[in-house]
Amino acid sequence: MGLFDFLKGKKKEETKEIEIKQYSDSIELNDIEIELSSAEKKESTIKLDLVGEDNTTAINQAVHKAIDGEEIELHTATGGKLYQETADLKQVPPLTEEEAKTIQQALTKAVEMSTSKTEELEQTEQIERAEELEQIEKVEQEAEEVSQQIQQAEQEQNTEQTKEKKKGFFAKLFAGLDKTRKNILGGVDNVLGAFTKIDEDLFEELEEVLIMADIGVQTTMNIIENLRKRVKKEHITDPQAIRGMLIEEITAILEEDTQQQENLPSPTVMLVIGVNGVGKTTTIGKLSHNFKEQGKNVLLGAADTFRAAAIDQLEVWGQRAGIDVIKHQENSDPAAVVFDAVNAAKNRNVDLLICDTAGRLHNKKNLMEELKKIAKVIEREYPQAHKEIYLVLDATTGQNAMQQAKLFQEVADITGIILTKLDGTAKGGIVIAIKSELKLPVRYIGVGEGIKDLQKFDAKEFAKALFGE
């Protein structure tokens, strides 16, 4: 009910006392409720002038203006009475001065309440907004902390998994090098235990032990010469001290110019060469599996077309790893296979193309011409690709592996060595000879028949496993 309705219903002879009750959103005058506007209010002033003439109309309109925060004036008509006209401009019974004052007080309180309520609402909204922003900021901060914790946990998990993998491979490597370790250090300990002083006889017997351990003649001579110089310079007299010095010399050879090969750039074309029987095709299968696990898109090329079942064997490995194989018929031109494989790699945007090749060392001239032809095809068809040539050697062949490496080095620009079958052989010293004499980096070593038993060569880890540290 509006205030105008209240005023309209007033009778001239009704009681002069008006009872006012205030609520949160209304005022009650003599048990008649007047609703207040819920819109935002500004502080307003209400003036009542009870002197003079006035033909004031629409007091109800004035009331609404007051509630909306506008400044208004109410004047009395003749005889000190305040008159109000109806919507039809008809006169209604006049209000007494006391009634007008009471209404003024009610209007003032209504405006004050409305203004106060608006201010309270604004303050409440500001507080709620601040609290909301604070809560949002807190939630975002907590989310960021949780995200960081998840990332840290994942990194720690990956680190632990990597450590476990390394630990597992190191254990295999340590066990695989057991015979080589005994062959080298066992012979060395026997020699050193038989001498009470350091003399030339000791060095000669030590030299024989190292050569028999497939460390190689030239490498052995270099090691012995360094030991002689150190004994003299450091005034060593105890033969047992030579054991530690020998380990240091061999470790230095293994770690010399050691640069871990970074991830191969994309695209890369890799030729894998080696004589028949060294595990070349099997090594390619393991390599492709490793690279695919690293997230690389791999393609295989079966360019060893002269060995019986080489193509089928590579296909089996491709199926195991889920990798396509580009092939031709048996006895077809290897360069033609490489041509098709290179173009397939280009069209499919693969990261790595690994090509198997023939290993007919008995005819070095033909082998040289074949590799040159293949290299020419790759360079012509895919000049922007990175090139690698890996030589696969069988560790069990000892010095024969060294001779193979020297021959292949004459016909190809070898960029890395893959040494297979290190597990269970006493001829693991060949790694030392290859590093020392050929200056070729050992990229991978195999210590088992499993698909994950081919791992990157780590000189420090190999030295630790070799000497049982």
Alpha carbon distance 419, 457 (integer Å) = 9
CB contact at 8 A, 306 and 332: no
Residues 16 and 46 in one domain: yes
Residues 67-95 have a mean pLDDT of: 44
CB contact at 8 A, 373 and 335: yes
Residues 298 and 424 in one domain: yes
Residues 74-98 have a mean pLDDT of: 46
Phi, psi of 19 (to 5 degrees): -85, 125
**What SS3 class is residue 321?**
helix
CATH number of the domain where residue 209 is located: 1.20.120.140
Residues 311 and 432 in one domain: yes
Is the pTM value of this prediction over 0.75?
no
CATH number of the domain where residue 300 is located: 3.40.50.300
pLDDT band at 469 (very low <50, low <70, confident <90, very high): low
CB contact at 8 A, 337 and 251: no
CB contact at 8 A, 117 and 24: yes
Q: Which one, of 170, 201, 205, lies nearest residue 189 by Cα?
A: 205
Alpha carbon distance 436, 441 (integer Å) = 10
Residues 242 and 357 in one domain: no
CB contact at 8 A, 34 and 2: yes
Tokens representing residue 120 in the block:
């309270």
- Of the residues 78, 97, 119, the one at which a domain ends: 119
Domains held by the chain: number: 3
To the nearest 10°, report the CA torsion of 33, 34, 36, 42.
Answer: -130
Residues 280 and 246 in one domain: no
Alpha carbon distance 334, 59 (integer Å) = 108
Q: Name the percent of the chain lying above pLDDT 70.
A: 68
Domain with 99, as residue range(s), is 3-119
- On whether residue 247 sits in a domain, the answer given is yes
Residues 215 and 97 in one domain: no
Which amino acid is located at 145 in the chain?
E
CB contact at 8 A, 422 and 444: no
Residues 8-15 have a mean pLDDT of: 42
- The CA-atom distances, in angstroms, between 346 and each of 147, 167, 270, 322, 385 are 39, 38, 14, 19, 9
Q: What is the pLDDT of residues 195-217, one digit of tens each?
A: 999 999 999 999 999 998 889 89
CB contact at 8 A, 8 and 86: yes
Q: What is the pLDDT of residues 411-465, one digit of tens each?
A: 889 999 999 988 878 888 899 999 888 888 899 998 888 888 888 888 888 888 8
pLDDT band at 6 (very low <50, low <70, confident <90, very high): very low
Q: Which helix (H) or strand (E) holds 352?
A: strand 352-356
Alpha carbon distance 228, 242 (integer Å) = 10
Q: What is the pLDDT of residues 146-167, one digit of tens each?
A: 677 667 766 665 655 555 455 5
Beta bridge partners of 416: 390
Q: Residue 14 has what pLDDT?
A: 40
- Of the residues 119, 143, 164, the one at which a domain ends: 119
